[in-house]
């Protein structure tokens, strides 16, 4: 009996490994330079020739020695390979929460604009007429960039600037974050709660049905839990 259990366990382990290799084997077998499959949403950050995938990353910003008066522009090309019109959406992730008073995101300004061709840019978030801090970008949640027709690609600019009026209080400060880009699923609504652990209580206004509550712990571990809610 014990021998049978050991054999069964080894078989389960072997089968799991085989299934894993079967899933990733196709990608591994490809001689292509890029890693992973971007699926219906190829996203290229700046001059990276490979799209973002689960196995290929490119950060939007990696700035050292940023000083007042500096600005950095990053751009992203988003392509719609889904076969139907999509609403490109952007959202910040993995920023510190609660945010320290000294976090650089409180003072850095960000603007997001759409490249309209011929040097024209259309402000989507922030910009000269409506300046926004990085913190406001974090708190804004999903931001609709623009609609993208099937097979088409749009370029968007993300510009971060450090106002020159700021001084020594901000020496040596940092801010870190991730950016998620996607085509929204109109049937579901996800609420991400930061800095909580299972068992914590979080009250939020949820307008959509069937919410999925995602707990983002301080350790970066996701806990998914469907929750009931009632309409006010």
Considering only residues 62-121, where is the footprint of other proteins by CB under 8 A?
A: 62-70, 72, 76, 82, 86, 89, 93-94, 104, 108
Minimum distance between the CB of residue 119 and other proteins, rounded to whole angstroms? Answer: 25
Per-residue binding string, other proteins, 181-200, x by CB under 8 A, is xxxxx--xxx----------
For other proteins, the binding residue among 149, 150, 176, 218 (CB under 8 A) is: 176
Is residue 223 involved in binding other proteins (CB under 8 A)?
A: no
Is residue 122 involved in binding other proteins (CB under 8 A)?
A: no
For other proteins, the binding residue among 99, 126, 175, 215 (CB under 8 A) is: 175
Neighbouring CB atoms inside 10 A of 14's CB total: 10
Is residue 137 involved in binding other proteins (CB under 8 A)?
A: no
Is the CB of 99 or the CB of 104 nearer to other proteins?
104
For other proteins, the binding residue among 31, 47, 120, 171 (CB under 8 A) is: 171
Stretch of residues binding other proteins (CB under 8 A), selected from 27-35, 143-151, 174-182, 197-205: 174-182
Place of tokens 């049905």: 209
Is the CB of 224 or the CB of 231 nearer to other proteins?
224
Please enumerate in sequence order all residues whose Cβ is within 8 A of that of 46, keeping only pairs 6 or more positions apart, or say none.
Answer: 58, 60, 74, 75, 76
Long-range CB pairs of 63-69, under 8 A, 24+ apart, other chains included: 63/160, 66/162, 67/162, 68/162, 68/163, 68/164, 68/165, 68/166, 68/167, 68/170, 69/162, 69/164
For other proteins, the binding residue among 59, 140, 143, 206 (CB under 8 A) is: 59
> Is the separation of the CB atoms in 112 and 89 below 8 Å?
no
Spell out a b/e string for 156-170, using b for 16 or more CB atoms within 10 Å of the CB, else e.
bbbbbbbeeeeeeeb
Neighbouring CB atoms inside 10 A of 105's CB total: 24
């Amino acid at each position: 009996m014990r021998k049978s259990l050991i054999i069964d366990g080894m078989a389960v382990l072997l089968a799991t490994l085989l299934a894993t290799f079967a899933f990733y084997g196709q990608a591994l077998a490809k001689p292509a330079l890029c890693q992973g499959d971007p699926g219906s949403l190829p996203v290229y950050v700046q001059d990276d020739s490979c799209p973002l995938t689960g196995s290929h990353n490119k950060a939007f910003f990696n700035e050292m020695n940023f000083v007042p008066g500096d600005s950095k522009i990053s751009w992203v090309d988003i392509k719609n390979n889904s076969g139907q019109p999509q609403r490109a959406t952007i959202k910040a992730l993995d920023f510190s929460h609660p945010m320290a008073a000294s976090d650089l995101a409180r003072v850095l300004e960000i603007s997001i604009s759409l490249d309209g061709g011929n040097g024209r840019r259309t402000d989507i978030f922030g910009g000269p007429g409506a300046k926004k801090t990085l913190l406001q970008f974090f708190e804004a949640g999903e931001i609709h960039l623009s609609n993208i027709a099937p097979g088409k690609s749009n370029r968007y600019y993300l510009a971060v600037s450090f106002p020159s009026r700021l001084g020594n209080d901000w020496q040596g400060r940092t801010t870190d974050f991730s950016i998620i880009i996607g085509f929204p699923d109109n049937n579901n609504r996800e609420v991400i709660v930061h800095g909580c652990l299972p068992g914590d209580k979080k009250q939020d206004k949820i307008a959509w049905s069937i919410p999925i509550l995602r707990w983002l712990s301080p350790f970066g571990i996701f806990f998914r839990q469907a929750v009931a809610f009632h309409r006010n």
